[in-house]
């Protein structure tokens, strides 16, 4: 089976593809559709509370004929955050959970989980701690609640889960670790919470398949024009799986998005 995960940074921008960036985003999405994944997980959809418009659905159905679409939109802030699953096979059940996170985090559409006979597949858009770390305490509470949620799934059957986790776990996971220890996404607190998640029984597949390999990144800052040219990036998007199925993973890669900065998709192949 093939799974792909991507922070798209606006479904609408992709569908409209009226700007240069929107055109690049649409091209990436079209290439992902051509890969015919069993499940495509999308984060930061920025859809309205009502979900996909008729125009969105028509465009996506043309790319993904006979697929099923599941969206979880923010009800707290308009056109903010949000997650989505595009699945070839209809699941047994779909969950848009609230996990007991603080503030409005549970209302920001951050998780979609599909249940199949032998496994769960879930996606998450983890809250950012904020440029001034003003949301760091809430972010830590989110991490604890999210770990509990995944653990509850894992008791029932193995979990394949992906998304923008908004954390570079180790120094190897970003180009400039020494200057970012107090930056959102690389604080000791966020990194420790990610370690706790892995220690609860899950494998970071990209790192497991590429131990010690530097320069593997999934995000390059848009505001720095040379970030991707220089591969000055961060690895903050992940596929994690329950340890007991980690040996079934055949391959994982970062999908090439050409000149487009921001997030790149990751593709997982599992038996």
125 flagged as catalytic: yes
* 93 token code pair: 């059940």
Q: Which of 9, 106, 143, 164 is catalytic?
A: 164
Q: Which of 125, 149, 217, 239 is catalytic?
A: 125
CA neighbours within 13 Å on the CB side: how many for 105? 22
**Which active-site residues does the annotation give?**
125, 164
């Amino acid at each position: 089976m093939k799974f792909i995960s991507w922070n798209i940074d606006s479904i609408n921008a992709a569908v409209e593809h009226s700007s240069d960036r929107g055109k690049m985003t649409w091209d990436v999405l079209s290439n992902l559709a051509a890969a015919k994944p069993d499940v495509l997980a999308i984060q930061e959809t920025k859809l309205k509370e009502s979900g996909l418009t008729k125009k969105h659905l028509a465009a996506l159905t043309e790319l993904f004929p006979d697929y099923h679409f599941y969206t979880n939109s923010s009800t707290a802030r308009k056109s903010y955050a949000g997650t989505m699953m595009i699945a070839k096979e209809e699941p047994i059940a779909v969950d848009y959970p609230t996990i007991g996170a603080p503030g409005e985090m549970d209302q920001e559409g951050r998780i979609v989980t599909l249940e199949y006979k032998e496994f769960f597949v879930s996606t998450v858009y983890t809250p950012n701690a904020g440029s001034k770390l003003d949301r760091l305490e809430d972010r830590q509470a989110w991490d604890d609640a999210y770990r509990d949620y995944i653990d509850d799934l894992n008791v029932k059957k193995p979990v394949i889960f992906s998304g923008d986790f908004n954390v570079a776990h180790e120094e190897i996971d970003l180009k400039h670790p020494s200057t970012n220890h107090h930056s959102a996404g690389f604080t000791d607190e966020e990194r420790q919470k990610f370690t706790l998640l892995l220690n609860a029984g899950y494998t970071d597949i990209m790192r497991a398949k590429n131990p010690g390999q530097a320069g593997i990144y999934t995000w390059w800052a848009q505001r720095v024009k040379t970030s991707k040219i220089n591969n000055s990036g961060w690895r903050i998007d992940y596929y994690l799986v329950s340890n007991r199925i980690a040996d079934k993973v055949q391959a994982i890669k970062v999908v090439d998005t050409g000149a487009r900065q921001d997030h790149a998709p990751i593709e997982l192949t599992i038996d």
